[in-house]
Structure formats: structure tokens, C-alpha cells
């Protein structure tokens, strides 16, 4: 069995991308309530705090602070994926891509860039014109808590920001 090298830091904060195998599938937003239940059920088993998250049709991004000494985020994603798949009315064993992408957050600037990336992602993918219009995002919590303005990120037509991405040369 292949053992992947993962950076595990007790109490560390990580950025994740988790993807469905079929990138044309919209199961995550179609059954977002089942995903939410699966995530909530995993929380007591693998303690963590969701700093930011966005659920898109075929993938999700999350910034998570692990609260367990082992920083066992692999088990967290296994629990969430397994729980979601089991709760779906019809799901094959290959609903999810077998792995996930992870990045260890290094400092406050890195955290801010990844939280911004998470929140702006629905606009980036052309799903909405304004960040506030995407319902499956922690952005709404940030607005409720007064951490961000409802018009943060502007509109797709007005935005030239890259929110966590390196601009590509023309």
C-alpha cells in the first residue's frame, strides 16, 4: 500500500480540496443536507473547527483547524465521504476521488489568502456573480459575525482580484 507523506501538526490549520470522481456530477449541492449531516457526525470522532468552507456541485474547499493531537484529517475526510455516500439514495462505491489535496497553513497571510479563495470560489467557477449569492459557503457566517461586508469581492464583472491564486501571464 502506498503511504502518502502528509504534514501533520497538532492543532494545525489546513486547506483542503475534496472532489467527486465525476466532475460533471452535482451531488454535493443536490444533497448538501446529507453532506452537512455526515460532517456533523464526524466532528465528535475527529475534533476540528471549520474556519471556512464552500460546497460546489462537484467539489468542496475547506480551511480546517484540527483539534486532535494526531491531526488525523485523513480520517476526517474518510468519515465525511463514507457518511455522505451511505446517506445518498443511490451511490456507487466510486463517488469520490480516492484522495484529497491538502496544504498546511503557514501564517496569518496564508490563512487569509485561503479563506478568501474559499469564499470567492463560486464566482471563480461562474456559478454566481457575487460571493453573497452562493448559499453553500461559510461566507454568510463571516458576514453575520461582522468579519466581512456582504458586498465583499464585488461582482465578477468588476473583480480583478485573484483571491489565493497566482495570476497567470497573458
pLDDT of residue 91: 64
Arch. (CATH architecture) of 13-144: 2-Layer Sandwich (3.30)
The Cα 30–Cα 56 span in angstroms is 10
Q: Which helix (H) or strand (E) holds 48?
A: strand 48-55
Burial of 32 (0-12, 13-18, 19+ CB in 10 A): middle
Q: What are residue 54's DSSP bridge partners? A: 61, 137
- Helices 73-87 and 32-42: angle between axes, nearest 10 degrees: 140
The three grid cell numbers given for residue 77, joined into one nine-digit string: 475526510
Looking at residue 89, its pLDDT comes to 83
- Rounded to a whole number of angstroms, the distance between the first and last alpha carbons of the chain is 42
- The residues of the chain scoring below 70 in pLDDT are 1-6, 91-93, 156-170
All 3 cell numbers of residue 31? 444533497
DSSP string for residues in 57-114: SSEEEEEEEE-STT--HHHHHHHHHHHHHHHSSS--TTSB-S--EEEE--SHHHHHHH
The cell numbers describing 99, all together, are 484522495
Distance (Å, whole) CA 8 – CA 113:
21
- The contacts of residue 70 (CB under 8 Å, 6+ apart) are 8, 10
Q: What is the pLDDT of residues 125-164, one digit of tens each?
A: 999 999 999 999 999 999 999 999 999 998 765 444 555 5
Q: In the structure grid, which three cell numbers stand for residue 147, read together?
A: 468579519
Q: Taking the model in full, what pTM does it have?
A: 0.86
* Cell numbers placing 22: 465525476
Amino acid at each position: 500500500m502506498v503511504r502518502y507523506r502528509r504534514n501533520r501538526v497538532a492543532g494545525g490549520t489546513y486547506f483542503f480540496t475534496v472532489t467527486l470522481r465525476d466532475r460533471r456530477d452535482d451531488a454535493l449541492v443536490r444533497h448538501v443536507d446529507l453532506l452537512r449531516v455526515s460532517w456533523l457526525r464526524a466532528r465528535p470522532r475527529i475534533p476540528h473547527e471549520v474556519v471556512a468552507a464552500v460546497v460546489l456541485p462537484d467539489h468542496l474547499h475547506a480551511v480546517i483547524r484540527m483539534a486532535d493531537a494526531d491531526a488525523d484529517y485523513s480520517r476526517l475526510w474518510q468519515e465525511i465521504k463514507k457518511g455522505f455516500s451511505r446517506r445518498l439514495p443511490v451511490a456507487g462505491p466510486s463517488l469520490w476521488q480516492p484522495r484529497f489535496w491538502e496544504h498546511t497553513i503557514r501564517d496569518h497571510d496564508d490563512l487569509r489568502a485561503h479563506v478568501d479563495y474559499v469564499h470567492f470560489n463560486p464566482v471563480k467557477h461562474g456559478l454566481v456573480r457575487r460571493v453573497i449569492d452562493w448559499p453553500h459557503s461559510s461566507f454568510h457566517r463571516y458576514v453575520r459575525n461582522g468579519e466581512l461586508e456582504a458586498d465583499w469581492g464585488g461582482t465578477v464583472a468588476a473583480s480583478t482580484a485573484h483571491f489565493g491564486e497566482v495570476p497567470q501571464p497573458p
